[in-house]
Amino acid sequence: MNNKDFNNYIEINLKLAYDFYQELNLFYFENKLPTCQLELSTRLTRTAGKIWPKSRLMRLSLPYHQHYGSQELRNTILHEMIHLWLFEQKLPSGHTNRFRQKSEEVGLGERINALPIPPRPYKYIYACPTCCYEIRTRRKINSSCGRCDKIYNPRHKFKLVRHLEGEGAA
């Protein structure tokens, strides 16, 4: 994805997220939840979403939802909205029994945790100049091929053969 496509992608999905929020607020919360600022974040990678109820800010993981799609985006927003809903009623806003009960009511079932977090995409492909063994990495490396020599040997130092940026790397 080039920059323009990427910005476009963010814009479309942010609009979708706001639409979900409105629709879900009407459907499950009697439209009583306050307006909330939604963000799609490339940096939020360890969880699907996060909410700061006091600041009325909801952050949604971009890589996670790129991986799982719109249905899961809706699920994450709904999950975070339950936290906000509890907070607005001045109830403890963690994954309490009341949280779980509401979660069942709105059709999210018993699932509290995100689906398995997709691995961060690889950025580089290196190859050993001697045996051509290829490895994929997320950062730059300075090591040599362990198949050709058990200790570091500059003769078999991995060479960068491809930079994967723009091919799904975030």
Nearer to Zn ion, 42 or 113 (CB): 113
Nearer to Zn ion, 45 or 130 (CB): 130
Give the nearest distance from C-beta 116 to Zn ion in angstroms: 16
- CA angle 31–36–42, rounded 5-degree value: 135
Mask 124-163, x = binds Zn ion (CB under 5 A)?
----x-xx-x-----------x-xx-------x-------
Q: 62: helix, coil or strand?
A: helix
Strand residues in the chain grouped as ranges (E): 37-41, 49-52, 57-61, 124-127, 134-137, 159-163
Q: Which residue has the tokens 């975070």?
A: 80
Give the nearest distance from C-beta 112 to Zn ion in angstroms: 6
Radius of gyration of the chain (CA): 22
Q: Is residue 45 a contact residue for Zn ion (CB under 5 A)? A: no
Which residues between 50 and 89 bind Zn ion (CB under 5 A)? none
Question: Residue 21: which of 48, 7, 39 has the closest Cα?
Answer: 39
Give the nearest distance from C-beta 1 to Zn ion in angstroms: 29
Give the nearest distance from C-beta 144 to Zn ion in angstroms: 8
Give the nearest distance from C-beta 156 to Zn ion in angstroms: 5
Nearer to Zn ion, 8 or 89 (CB): 89
Dist CA 82 CA 78 (whole Å): 6
Dist CA 164 CA 56 (whole Å): 36
Where on the chain is the footprint of Zn ion (CB under 5 A)?
A: 128, 130-131, 133, 145, 147-148, 156
